Amino acid sequence: MNLHDRVALQRIVGEWAAETFPDDTRDTISASIRQESQNLRQAVLNARTAPAPIDPPFNTEIARSVSTMYLLLLRLADKEGFSLHHEAILRHALHTMTTPKPATTEDQAT
């Protein structure tokens, strides 16, 4: 998916949410993100004792929670008028410049 598709996805999700949830506010979306975060935490805890997934090769419960949170974040970003994708790129760039990588054993030998 290219940048245009990501921006289009946010617009599509935002338009759908505006029609479907016309009374949404920062607070209601934030509360939904908080609830889904709790669902994700439970999914992670459940995954600790579950057998390793084979088909698909990932935990679908975790995937559902993460994707729901992503959609909620897209809704909030669209409502607030900024590109979530653009802001994530900027944030990642900042983290890569300010967060030191852990030293490897090879680094320590020199």
What domains are there in the chain, each with its CATH number? 3-85 (1.10.287)
Q: What is the pTM of this model?
A: 0.80
- Within 10 angstroms of residue 94's Cβ, the number of other Cβ atoms is 10
| 6-57 per-position pLDDT tens digit | 789 999 999 999 999 999 999 999 999 999 999 999 999 988 888 887 778 8
C-beta atoms surrounding 21 within 10 Å: 13
Q: What is the pLDDT of residue 110?
A: 56
Which pLDDT score is estimated for 4?
A: 65
pLDDT for the residue 107: 63
